[in-house]
Structure 1
Amino acid sequence: MTAPFDDVPTLTIADDEAHSQKLKPSTVDEAVRLFREGGALRLHGAIPLEFLEELDGHYRKRYWSELESTDKEDRRPLFTVDVEGPFARPQFYANPLVFPIIERLLGDDCILGACSSVVSFPGAPDQFTHRDSDSLFGDFAYDVKLPPYALTVLMPLVDADAETGSTEVWPTTQHEPDFEKAKATPPVHPVVPRGSIMMTDSRVVHRGARNRSERVRPLVYCSYHRHWFRDYGGYETRPPISINPIEYARVPREYRRLFSWGFDRYLKIRVKRGARRVALDVLPQRVLLPLKHALKSR
């Protein structure tokens, strides 16, 4: 941890962990402890820079129009990122230097609830202060007593700092049911350089800071949920997850449950029932019976 301006729970991936792409059990334990206490965790060195370059290159080619200009009043376009190219690799959605922490926090049957990007253009103002999820039971007095049930992993493609705009966090506010009291406490403004990530509890109070620079600040984020939780807020006009059947078929079996919730698990049953109804009900009544009557009348 550094100065109060940047005082957020932080861990740095050790060289041997980065080389082996495997976290030590003690690192996972410490990360889980810090996250549960503070509601946020910055992890330095979580994404190898070579892989980040691949993600960045694909992103800028695929979403170049989103980076050229915006007609959004808040100068923060938000869109779903397709799970394709380097974004379809387990190294992205199940990062071995991050995912073990997520599974410890949310269970080994957790799902990928959303994969999106928000772009902050020069001049973008401070975002409104908010929590990422609504109360499960209509009163945060209940929610704050629960273990984490949803979290977001923020991955800036450029350094997120005081100039480009970091994500301001009000630490420990996942334990405060009163929103006004929560945001009355001083926030921290963590610098998240390229290759680092920031994890936030869905209940922690936060906001995107203004972009004072002349640079566009693209940020990709993945939201992970306990298997029973769904967040439908903000997805009225876009899907939270976008993965085509070909890419889904390539997902290693151990990770398919991350995406399978987004498919209609009852589709095959509905198709079979529909076909059966056509064969046994609709077809006889609308085709075979008239044909039978026509033949009789001859």
Structure 2
Amino acid sequence: METDEYSGRIPEIRLPIGADASAPNTQLLSTGFDAFQKNGCLLIRNAFDKSELQQLRTPLLEQYREMMDQKTRGQSRDLREGYYKRRMLRIKLEKGFKSRSIWANKTVFPLINRLLGEQAILGKITAVVAWPGAPSQQMHFDHPDLFASYEISKFAHKLPTHCLQLVLPLVDITMDNGPTRCWPGSHKLAQGDRVNVDPQSGYSDPLTTLGDCFLIDFRTLHSGLCNNSNRWRPVLFITYQRPWFRDASNYYRIFTPKISDQDFLNIPDELKFSVEHATPQLRRLFVQ
């Protein structure tokens, strides 16, 4: 496994292709943990099976069409920039999306679980689809600091991660179709200082091939860039959080994951804690 030391760009770990995923990768757990804590983002290459990701494109399109056909609101929302050229939708845990190799990947999930205090729960699974012509987003972070006071927020660099996203593209990401630009280390800044970061410097553009993913702290500055290609850019965003955290800024009630009781019973016991809030009975309590 190769790793790049922090050099003003997103740290990168390259896993060997076809590596045994039946047991946690000890190097990823140690090196990846330290790199993410320092930078608030981490690129992991060869983490997912390419053929499985390819097979998700069709059910994603089906869910997208279903969303567009719905007359009621609530299943999706337009992001501010791009209107219908950039759409976010909740992913239903059905067909290929309910596979644990997607939402609890044996290679990546142990690292996520360690970063979140060994109690990671699945917050939501969404997809952002950027069609040709979708413009760039503004630089932003995904959630306000836990404590609004600047006097407390300025100690953010001492706080561990409470929520993060696994960004999983379903196509190769190039400068043509637009990567998710990140500002490594920005998660250590207080919210009041983060908004003053120069958007023209200190960033990293992770270019990926199918099977790569990257993790990003909820506090890390980032921006989805424009899609100048003639093809769609579908990207999954899988949110994990500590069990006490609730996302109050990103339509939490709309995007809370849903899983049937029967599918829940088929999940390995060691993973039930991560999704038990998504079953019908507990979900009603979880979102009220």
TM-score (norm 1): 0.80
2:112 corresponds in structure 1 to 102
1:82 corresponds in structure 2 to 92
Give matches, 1:215-294, under 5 Å.
215-235=231-251, 238-263=254-279, 265=282
Q: Is the 8 A contact 2:33 2:115 kept in 1?
A: yes
Encode CA deviations 1:59-90: one digit per residue, 9 max, x unaligned.
2344346699x995432111100011121111
Q: Is the 8 A contact 1:67 1:119 kept in 2?
A: no
More helix by share: 1
SS in 2 for 1:144: helix
One-letter amino acid of the counterpart of residue 244, structure 2: W
Give matches, 1:22-41, under 5 Å.
22-41=23-42
Match of 1:9 among 8, 11, 29: 11
Tell whether 2:226 aligns with 1:210: yes
How far apart, in 2, do the equivalents of 1:120 and 1:266 lie?
30
The number of residues matched between the two structures is 265
Match of 1:91 among 93, 96, 101: 101
How far apart, in 2, do the equivalents of 1:81 and 1:71 lie?
13
SS in 2 for 1:200: strand
Q: Is the 8 A contact 1:22 1:96 kept in 2?
A: yes
How far apart, in 2, do the equivalents of 1:11 and 1:66 lie?
36
Long gaps (5+) in structure 2? 70-75
CA pair 5-128 structure 1, distance change in 2 beyond 3 A:
farther
One-letter amino acid of the counterpart of residue 250, structure 1: N
How far apart, in 1, do the equivalents of 2:284 and 2:212 lie?
40
Encode CA deviations 1:120-154: one digit per residue, 9 max, x unaligned.
11111111211111111113324332011111001
How far apart, in 2, do the equivalents of 1:200 and 1:71 lie?
22
Match of 2:137 among 127, 144, 157: 127
Long gaps (5+) in structure 1? 269-298
Larger radius of gyration: 1
Q: Is the 8 A contact 1:170 1:183 kept in 2?
A: no
How far apart, in 1, do the equivalents of 2:184 and 2:240 lie?
20
Q: Is the 8 A contact 2:259 2:278 kept in 1?
A: no
One-letter amino acid of the counterpart of residue 80, structure 1: R
